[in-house]
Amino acid sequence: MSPRYAHITGWGMAVPEKRLTNEDLEKMVDTSDEWIVSRTGIRERRIASADQSTATLAAEAAMRALGVANLHPADLDLIIVSTSSPEHIFPATACLVQDQIGAVKAGAFDLLAACTGFIFALNLAANMIKTDGISNALVIGSETLSRIVNWKDRNTCILFGDGAGAFVLQASDEPGGIYTGVMRSDGSGGDLLSLPGGGSKYPTCLQSVYDGLHYIHMNGREVFRFATRVMTDATQEAVAAANLTMDDIQLIIPHQANRRIIEAAARGLDFPMDKVMINVDRYGNTSTASIPIATCEAIEQGRLKAGDWTVFVGFGAGLTWGATLARWSGPFPVRRKLKPRRYRWLARLRSILARLRRHLEGLIWGRGKTA
């Protein structure tokens, strides 16, 4: 049997309209534009409106990615949503997205590896295409971190933003797409970046809310030191695993947490900064969404073209870190252009009918009766 490859054939992003600038933050906490820019490179971030959520942003990014790939949602076999700010603990945000876009054949689940989540999800989906025989996968990174940030804590609230990005992965016998993946974890550093409340250790109660356990807690300096070390190692490992060297790489798309971390990693790799994608200045740290959002903008700016070798590399809570090496291919050639956006209405109708059917079955068989 000839080897199968997992190509990235679609990409899309969705960010809220509302911008929160450093000047806005100066009015909320004791900080300054100068401090934030010099320490992080961030100038503004996007904040979800009341009617936006992790699932709605994810579905929006997904529809754009399906549009680029020219793929019908019903042809998806798999949806992975990587997020640290899910719609609920359960059901999985991926299932809500599956319903919203009408991906009737897809298995859907969430993956939690914090800011490294998109890398882990990408590697997982690619391997399922290569070895498990699935054909089409949707990988989404989506966050509404503004909902879990303590807006009174200047150590964290200046860093994060909301947004979503998505890739469509498709199987092909043609070489290209995702080649190697590195996935690592070190739970001994779990306390350095955490959201302690709302789980089984500290279930939500008045006391947990009073103690602020439902917010992000972070040891910034320790996370900084960890990040600069692992970004370099993971990139080198992913590149070496494909028998390539850094000279073969046209673009690195790193997790957008902090400009200084990215610059330190590039220095460690002896890699020129003009071949590293940065947009942290405009979105802040959007966690799992940052790599696909940066990818969409790199393509828009003509910095990533078919045939280019690129490395996606990230780090985050867990601690987790990882990298993915891909040869960029772009959408498969198509005969007829689909309009996946139209299928959203159909999906909504299908969802209403499914709820109605369940309601009617309840009336007929009796609600609450199991036999």
d(CA 55, CA 52): 8
| Residue whose Cβ sits closest to ligand COA | 220
Q: Which of 107, 190, 220, 268 binds ligand COA (CB under 6 A)?
A: 220
Under rule CB under 6 A, residue 155 binds ligand COA: yes
3-state DSSP of 269-284: HCCCHHHECCCHHHHC
State which residue, 224 or 332, has the beta carbon closest to ligand COA: 224
Under rule CB under 6 A, residue 367 binds ligand COA: no
* Nearest to 82, CA basis, from 276, 299, 346, 320: 320
Which is the catalytic residue, given 115, 157, 217, 258? 115
State which residue, 29 or 338, has the beta carbon closest to ligand COA: 29
Would strands 107-111 and 136-144 be described as parallel, antiparallel, or unpaired? unpaired
Under rule CB under 6 A, residue 224 binds ligand COA: yes
Under rule CB under 6 A, residue 221 binds ligand COA: yes
Query: Who's near 73: CB < 8 A, 6+ residues apart?
Result: 66, 101, 102, 103, 104, 106, 340, 343, 347
Contact between residue 171 and residue 134 where contact means Cβ atoms under 8 Å apart: yes
Under rule CB under 6 A, residue 40 binds ligand COA: yes
22 is catalytic: no
* Nearest to 347, CA basis, from 64, 103, 109, 62: 103
Largest CA distance in the chain: 69
* SS3 state of residue 357: helix
Under rule CB under 6 A, residue 158 binds ligand COA: yes
Task: Find the radius of gyration of the CA atoms of the chain.
Answer: 21
d(CA 98, CA 120): 20
255 is catalytic: yes
State which residue, 130 or 225, has the beta carbon closest to ligand COA: 225
Residues 98-117, mask of contacts with ligand COA (x by CB under 6 A): -----------------x--
Q: Which of 13, 96, 223, 230 binds ligand COA (CB under 6 A)?
A: 223
Q: Where are the beta strands (DSSP E) in the chain?
A: 5-14, 19-21, 44-46, 78-82, 107-111, 136-144, 162-172, 177-185, 193-194, 217-218, 251-254, 309-316, 320-327
Which is the catalytic residue, given 7, 70, 255, 258? 255
State which residue, 40 or 98, has the beta carbon closest to ligand COA: 40
150 is catalytic: no
Give me the least distance between CB of 132 and ligand COA, in Å please. 30
The answer to whether the peptide bond before residue 91 is cis (omega within 30 degrees of 0) is: yes
Give me the least distance between CB of 314 and ligand COA, in Å please. 8
Report in angstroms the alpha-carbon separations of 172 from 169, 175, 238.
Answer: 10, 8, 22
State which residue, 6 or 36, has the beta carbon closest to ligand COA: 36
Residues 257-276, mask of contacts with ligand COA (x by CB under 6 A): xx------------------
Give me the least distance between CB of 307 and ligand COA, in Å please. 31
Under rule CB under 6 A, residue 316 binds ligand COA: yes
State which residue, 25 or 96, has the beta carbon closest to ligand COA: 25
Residues binding ligand COA (CB under 6 A): 31, 35-36, 39-40, 115, 154-155, 158-159, 193, 218, 220-221, 223-224, 257-258, 285, 316
Q: Which of the residues are catalytic? A: 115, 255, 285
